[in-house]
């Protein structure tokens, strides 16, 4: 018996999507990693924002199956959890801040689709590398998408540690 995979589209995550995205965030992360609406929204409104949503059409409305928060940023300079971001810095890398998939979207390839789409967009804009902090044991997931753990300076290690004991600094080249 085959399981039919519902179709979804990858679109820009918009401020109107914030309530749904915050609900997915709450079901996906422990309390110390949950961000309020203002920091979340600041990532959507950056000039170098690459924030995406996986959307499925429903009988009455679209449902967000997952989201990805990413933006152009300074290399090896992850923003603190909960920080409200502003424009103005150099765009050296694509920083993937957050990827979360709802329980109804798991197993459908939502996360991988969001990441592959953000790579396409970043490559189009000349960004050639991505950085992230894998949290809560997600390093294996990111390894499967081509990310590797890199050596870190003591300063960067201190920033990564604020994301939890299991946090790992990871990088990867973005295909041109």
CA–CA distances in Å: residue 138 to residues 29, 73, 104, 134, 143 = 11, 22, 19, 5, 9
Element (H, E) at 71: strand 62-73
Q: What is the pTM assigned to this prediction? A: 0.92
| Contact criterion met (CB below 8 Å) for 101 and 111 | yes
Taking only the tens place, the pLDDT of each residue in 49-87 is: 999 999 997 656 679 999 999 999 999 999 999 999 998
Residue 60: its pLDDT value, please?
A: 62
Could you read off the pLDDT of 20-42 as tens digits, one per residue?
A: 999 999 999 999 999 999 999 99
* Domains (range + CATH), the chain: 9-173 (3.40.630.30)
């Amino acid at each position: 018996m085959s399981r039919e995979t519902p179709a979804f589209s990858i679109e820009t995550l918009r401020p109107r999507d914030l309530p749904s995205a915050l609900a997915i965030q709450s079901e996906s992360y422990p309390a110390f990693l949950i961000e309020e609406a203002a920091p979340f929204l600041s990532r959507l409104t950056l000039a170098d924002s690459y924030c995406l949503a996986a959307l499925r059409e429903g009988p009455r409305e679209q449902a967000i199956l997952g989201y990805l928060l990413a933006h152009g940023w300074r290399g090896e300079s992850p923003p603190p959890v909960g920080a409200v971001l502003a424009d103005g810095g150099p765009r050296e890398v694509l920083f993937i801040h957050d990827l979360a998939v709802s329980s109804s979207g798991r197993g459908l390839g939502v996360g991988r689709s969001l990441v592959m789409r953000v790579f396409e967009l970043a490559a189009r804009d000349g960004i050639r590398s991505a950085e992230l902090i894998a949290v809560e044991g997600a390093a294996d997931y990111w390894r499967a998408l081509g990310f590797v753990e890199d050596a870190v300076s003591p300063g960067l290690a201190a920033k990564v540690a604020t994301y939890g004991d299991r946090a790992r600094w990871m990088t990867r080249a973005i295909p041109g």
